[in-house]
Amino acid sequence: MRAQRFSHFDDFFTFYVHEHRHPANRALHACGTIAGLAVLIAALALGRYWLALLWIPIGYGFAWAGHFLIEKNKPATLAHPLWSFLSDFRMLALMVTGRLGPWLARAEKTAPD
């Protein structure tokens, strides 16, 4: 299966949000992103630089569990690593500020299924 192509980040983000429809999946993503950042910052602050690499399995472990166990889809990271990484933070910011709703509605309207 070929990776879907996107010409604009907002188009990708709409797809990304569609792949994160289930609230539990989004919660796991938020936990993974926050825990991964906390480990990264703590490792750097304590001078344990090699421990900073733990952000990868922590962040992606939570997120991929959400995809495979809850959402039953493939993580967008596999086909679009940079945009997915950026979208994790964008989605978290929108969740925290209560502004994700319009994106969820847009994703439902433009859903390919």
Residue with tokens 């472990």: 61
Q: What is the pLDDT of residue 2?
A: 47
Q: What is the pLDDT of residue 5?
A: 87
> How far apart are the C-alpha atoms of 111 and 14, rounded to whole Å?
9
Residue 66 has pLDDT above 70, yes or no: yes
Residue 1 has pLDDT above 70, yes or no: no
Mean pLDDT of 31-47: 98
Distance of CA 95 to the CA centre of its chain: 12
Residue 96 has pLDDT above 90, yes or no: yes
> How far apart are the C-alpha atoms of 31 and 110, rounded to whole Å?
27
> How far apart are the C-alpha atoms of 58 and 35, rounded to whole Å?
7
What string of DSSP letters covers 19-54? TT-SHHHHHHHHHHHHHHHHHHHHHHHTT-GGGGGG
Q: What is the pLDDT of residue 112?
A: 66
Q: What is the pLDDT of residue 22?
A: 97
